[in-house]
Amino acid sequence: MTNYTVITPRRGINDEGKGKKYALHKLISAATTEFVWLQDDDVVPPKRSYSGAVLPQSDLFILPLKMESLSEKPSLLEELQIAEYAAIQELTMISAKRGKTVMCSGANMIVRRSRWLESYEDLHPEIPSGDDMFLLESFKRRGLTVSVIDEADYTAVVRPQTSLSALFKQRMRWAGKAPKYTDHDINLCGAIVLLANLLQLFCTPFILIKFPIDYYLIKKRDPKISLPVALLLGLIYPYYMLICLFGGFLRRSW
């Protein structure tokens, strides 16, 4: 018998027009198990259910995600997103395993139900997204335990955006949350990534230092990603990142 409930907030069904955070609170409040397994409604769920035997050891479990295209031959735009997502996932897992968690995703995580409810006021209901990162900040601030289950059978699959407009809209929404982050590890990681990309932007040879690190993260998480795709991503990333950052900040001011 498991000690968790799978929670999948669905837009237009569970949120009553009030957004994902409201839907999550509604569904998690109604659950009766010690833990809840949060999964977005647009992901392909993991192949296996997790045994509840080890769950009491932690308050939050970060589970793996992988981006895959629906097409047998992904477009270049999709391949670039898949490579970016692989690097993000590997950085997420490495930082969490070292006790300095800087990212997590509500698309696939297990959390102690009572702790999530205690953190609800920290989730910034006025911001449409970010329930996962604000939850992580709240847990770290309160000294709660964060762990990783990095096993292939518990990997959920997410899909890449199929157009540039959809991609930038999503990334700008993510970037718009950044000014609200208060966690030292998250802000330090963000500052390092921004600085590295600015250095590459103004001093192109810096890519010789930056790219090997990026490529290591990408290949460690997804060995199928090719060198040309990873290199192209590395070359355009500073421009892409700045567009998303400025666009995200502008969207917040509208």
Residue 69 reports pLDDT greater than 70: yes
What pLDDT, on a 0 to 100 scale, did the predictor assign at position 223? Answer: 96
Note the pLDDT tens digit of each residue in 94-136: 999 999 999 999 999 999 999 999 999 999 887 777 899 999 9
Can you tell me whether residue 150 is helix, strand or coil? coil
Confidence of residue 54 (pLDDT cuts 50, 70, 90): low
Note the pLDDT tens digit of each residue in 185-210: 999 999 999 999 999 999 999 999 99
What 3 state SS string does 42-106 have?
A: CCECCCCCCCHHHHHHCCEEECCEEECCCCCCCCHHHHHHHHHHHHHHHHHHHHHHCCCCCCCCC
The lowest-confidence range among 56-60, 163-167, 180-184 is 56-60
Q: What share of the chain has pLDDT > 70, as a percent?
A: 92
pLDDT, mean of residues 23-51: 89
